[in-house]
Structure 1
């Protein structure tokens, strides 16, 4: 509302009224009263307002005109009326100005609050999952860091060709993982949650991956709710899991010594982010080779945060979960869960990279053996170590580097948590073993074999 647009007409109306009053005053008889005799030719005519009684009561002297007493009274009344009109008009105008000033200030404050709220809503919308309806919206969402899309079930059906078996990338604990093609430029992995008690892990992973952003942690693109089935959509990792690379058809042939060290450093960087840079610290709780995913350049990323919790939780607050052979003994026996539990699992992973064996192997129908119990006696004798490494990488590394990695692995899998190093210390000891071309600090004279084409 324009306040001036209302006040200007009122001001003009008030000026016109005052001008009319002043003009009326000027047309009346002069207000100056003189007691001196007036010339005869200017002798005023008798006024009809005088009564005979008033004339009788007034003394009249010869040659002296009547004193215009009534005229003086009229001028005083007119002055009082003008003064009263000015006071009333000024008061009225002041009240109007005050009212509209207050109203204008109120509207201004309200407008600012609305703009601030609208700006806050826009910021919140950028961080909240937003629905999409087509592939092009999905492409835009995938390009924004930290954006998670709510996807329609029909879109996932079309992208996975109705979840055909030939699009299955792997088998998870609650369902399959499918390859999804949303466009020529965008491939993704769709993880399906089915069965009982899937809600807790699904919500836990969705919650963590929405908040966590790191180059060595899998990126979540979206999710879908369809009846009792849940879906999570991740970025595509062309080389699958570390488990499939080490123990699949290729038996680790694509993983050179330097690539294995690069993968170890990538995993350590991801864990360091969880342990040192998240507040409160996060324990992955299910670190294993099947949850380490590799992209087309063999960059490693942590995945499967369904069991992740904050550090320091006791067993009375959370169910015992994990994978046999990778679970720290203090968590398995006493329910104590800290960042050192992840360090133990990382040590198992290092042994797996060095030796090429699974964390737990079936020795007989009723007997299993863990990689830790098998490797620890072997590592006590340095002369035996080169003979037990994975045949794929045997004699391809500097023995000093081999001994150093083996020593780090032994420290990580100590039974007593206090004897294990922090993941930051582990990371700093491994970075010098990785060539510069692969993200480390090692300078090598011979060309470093980079990632092989994905299969």
Structure 2
């Protein structure tokens, strides 16, 4: 078999055959200027050229389409962002259930983290409540009824205002409620707006309000000091979320023991956002023509100036803390005499260092004095006359957490003095207090408050 051929330095002429140029055959032909390499066939050149042009054309088309798609996407994005806030109410109000949304077979749906409220038909609510037969309370919004819908217990709040006015306010209310999601706040499930009916549906909280327990001679015995601290911490977390976790921030405006509900495990959830207001981004304040709130809890500075701030909620929560310590109601001539309210009475005792006279008698012997003083201190700071002298809600929450740690013994393992210590008087901290003159509150009447 011929494997090679050498024809160097001869005078051969013509075109070299393809067979001699294969890699399997060694062919040496240098020194023959008349020999030429074979020419490419025209059809082969046409195929190569067509393939190259086609690939380039495809690339150009894909590039143009990609640029066009990106341009359209960028044009649509700002438009959606600008219109989101405007369409928020409409989007919420148009999202309806059939007649109400379900997750699984036995629980109503709640879109955690989504600004969505479900519309529930009036007939479905009427059926769930047994024709509104079981009234369980009365709030600022109106009567509250117990119901059961697909195995889930619900609380149905029916607006006392049956007029057609306030439709936009109701939409704003639903918009506000639909974006609040926190374990220490009562969960909002849905709404109904048919004809003159304006109804809000919430989860049902089994153990009633803190007021029901703290001011009931039998129930209060089940609330030891640590239980009261845990309830206070839960409520403080809920309010901290409203102030710091919502954008814009939300001011509750009606913090009180009857708006702190207790679940089956005696953990607290803040309720009744019917009076809540969104704070402005810049000043964290809200100016209103009429002060809202409840006598004994309302911030005197807010009442006098009509300027609502997050510190107004702090004042009201300070009153709640004093109730948890003393077991007494915020307003009572019988309990406080000339002081007439819990703030004046508590401030007078604490300024004298007399903590045990402040304590609910059923708590005696069940707490550590340091944890009690920690709560008393933050409570008095919270009810200062000027809002700028009060702590923020997050600071109140941290103080309560410190008291819990002290009570549970996770901090300061030294021997804590008990509430039965021989000395009933403890010197209060040296922190300056903005004590409210009695004339300031005594000169204020509260005709428009509940």
CA contact (8 A) 2:286 2:309 kept: no
What SS does the aligned partner of 1:212 have? coil
Aligned counterpart in structure 2 of residue 289 of structure 1, from 257, 269, 283: 257
Q: Which residue of 2 aligns with 1:131?
A: 96
What SS does the aligned partner of 1:411 have? helix
What SS does the aligned partner of 1:179 have? strand
1:149 equivalent to 2:118? Answer yes
CA contact (8 A) 1:135 1:182 kept: no
1:234 Cα deviation from its structure 2 partner: 0.6
1:401 Cα deviation from its structure 2 partner: 1.1
CA contact (8 A) 1:313 1:336 kept: no
Pair 411,314 (structure 1): closer, same or farther in 2 beyond 3 Å:
closer
1:328 equivalent to 2:299? Answer yes
Q: Which residue of 2 aligns with 1:252?
A: 220
1:238 Cα deviation from its structure 2 partner: 0.6
Bigger shift: 219-228 or 426-435? 426-435
Pair 325,424 (structure 1): closer, same or farther in 2 beyond 3 Å:
same
1:425 equivalent to 2:390? Answer no
Q: Which has the higher helix share?
A: 1
Q: What number of residue pairs does the alignment pair up?
A: 336
Aligned counterpart in structure 1 of residue 200 of structure 2, from 232, 238, 241: 232
1:434 Cα deviation from its structure 2 partner: 2.3
Q: Which residue of 1 aligns with 2:145?
A: 178
What SS does the aligned partner of 2:198 have? strand
Paired with 2:247 and 2:297, the residues of 1 have a C-alpha distance of 25
1:334 Cα deviation from its structure 2 partner: 1.2
Paired with 1:235 and 1:436, the residues of 2 have a C-alpha distance of 34
- Please tell me the root mean square deviation across aligned C-alpha atoms, in Å: 4.0
Higher radius of gyration, 1 or 2: 1
1:361 equivalent to 2:363? Answer no
Pair 202,370 (structure 1): closer, same or farther in 2 beyond 3 Å:
farther
1:304 Cα deviation from its structure 2 partner: 1.3
Bigger shift: 230-239 or 302-311? 302-311
Paired with 1:144 and 1:315, the residues of 2 have a C-alpha distance of 29
Paired with 1:426 and 1:317, the residues of 2 have a C-alpha distance of 26
Aligned counterpart in structure 1 of residue 309 of structure 2, from 311, 326, 338: 338
Pair 190,441 (structure 1): closer, same or farther in 2 beyond 3 Å:
farther
Aligned counterpart in structure 2 of residue 163 of structure 1, from 125, 128, 132: 132
1:194 equivalent to 2:160? Answer yes
Paired with 2:251 and 2:328, the residues of 1 have a C-alpha distance of 25
For normalisation by structure 2, the TM-score amounts to 0.65
Paired with 2:380 and 2:407, the residues of 1 have a C-alpha distance of 28
Paired with 1:442 and 1:183, the residues of 2 have a C-alpha distance of 46
Alignment of 1:49-448 (within 5 A): 128=92, 130-134=95-99, 137=102, 141-145=108-112, 146=114, 147-164=116-133, 167-184=134-151, 186-195=152-161, 199=167, 202-248=170-216, 250-311=218-279, 312=283, 317-361=288-332, 363=334, 369-382=340-353, 384-434=354-404
CA contact (8 A) 1:360 1:368 kept: no
Pair 399,226 (structure 1): closer, same or farther in 2 beyond 3 Å:
same
CA contact (8 A) 1:314 1:335 kept: no
Paired with 1:277 and 1:405, the residues of 2 have a C-alpha distance of 24
| Residues 122-174 of structure 1 deviation map (CA, whole Å, 9 limit, x = unaligned) | x999x84632235673756525424521001111111111011xx22211124
What SS does the aligned partner of 2:332 have? strand
What SS does the aligned partner of 2:200 have? strand
CA contact (8 A) 2:212 2:258 kept: yes
CA contact (8 A) 2:371 2:406 kept: no
1:189 Cα deviation from its structure 2 partner: 0.7
CA contact (8 A) 1:174 1:198 kept: no
What SS does the aligned partner of 1:360 have? coil
1:227 Cα deviation from its structure 2 partner: 2.0
